[in-house]
Amino acid sequence: MKRKSGIQTSEDMREDLECPVCLKIPRSTPIYQCDKGHIHCKTCHPRLRKCPICRAAIGDTRSLMTEKVISRLPTRCAFHENGCNVPEDLPPEMTQHELGCYFRTVKCTVKNCKDTFVVSEVLKHFAAKHPAIEPKNSSYHSVTKYSKFVEPPERNSSWPPLLLQANGRQFMVTRRQDTSGYFAMRVYIFGSNDEVADYSCTIKAHNKSNVRIEKIRQK
DSSP states along 130-170: -TTS-EEE-------EEEE-SS--SS-EEEEEEEEEETTEE
Q: Which amino acid is at 49?
A: R
* Residue 17, in any domain of the structure: yes
* 3-state secondary structure at position 27: coil
For position 102, what pLDDT does the model report?
81
For position 42, what pLDDT does the model report?
93
Say whether both 137 and 207 belong to one domain.
yes
CATH number of the domain encompassing residue 148: 2.60.210.10
Cβ-in-10-Å burial (0-12, 13-18, 19+) of 159 comes to exposed
CATH number of the domain encompassing residue 41: 3.30.40.10
Domain with 14, as residue range(s), is: 10-73
1-15, 66-80, 129-143, 160-174: range with lowest mean pLDDT: 129-143
pLDDT top residue among 162 and 48: 48
Cis peptide bond N-terminal to 160, omega within 30: no
174-178, 188-192, 203-207: range with lowest mean pLDDT: 203-207
For position 135, what pLDDT does the model report?
53
Final residue before a domain boundary, out of 73, 99, 125: 73
Give the DSSP H or E segment for 96.
Answer: helix 91-99
Say whether both 69 and 139 belong to one domain.
no
How far is the C-alpha of 146 from the C-alpha of 186, rounded, in Å?
A: 8
Q: How many domains does the chain have?
A: 2
For position 204, what pLDDT does the model report?
67
pLDDT of 146 strictly over 60: no
> What is each CA distance from 66 to 9, 50, 56, 198, in whole angstroms?
17, 19, 19, 39
* Residue 52, in any domain of the structure: yes
For position 43, what pLDDT does the model report?
93
Question: What number is the average pLDDT over the span 173-190?
Answer: 74
pLDDT of 24 strictly over 60: yes
**Mean residue pLDDT across the chain:** 76
Say whether both 142 and 67 belong to one domain.
no
pLDDT of 207 strictly over 50: yes
Torsions phi, psi for 118 (to 5 deg): -75, 135
Percent of residues, the chain, with pLDDT higher than 90 = 19
Final residue before a domain boundary, out of 73, 107, 124: 73
Question: What number is the average pLDDT over the span 162-172?
Answer: 72
Final residue before a domain boundary, out of 41, 73, 105: 73
* Residue 23, in any domain of the structure: yes
43-47, 132-136, 141-145, 166-170: range with lowest mean pLDDT: 141-145
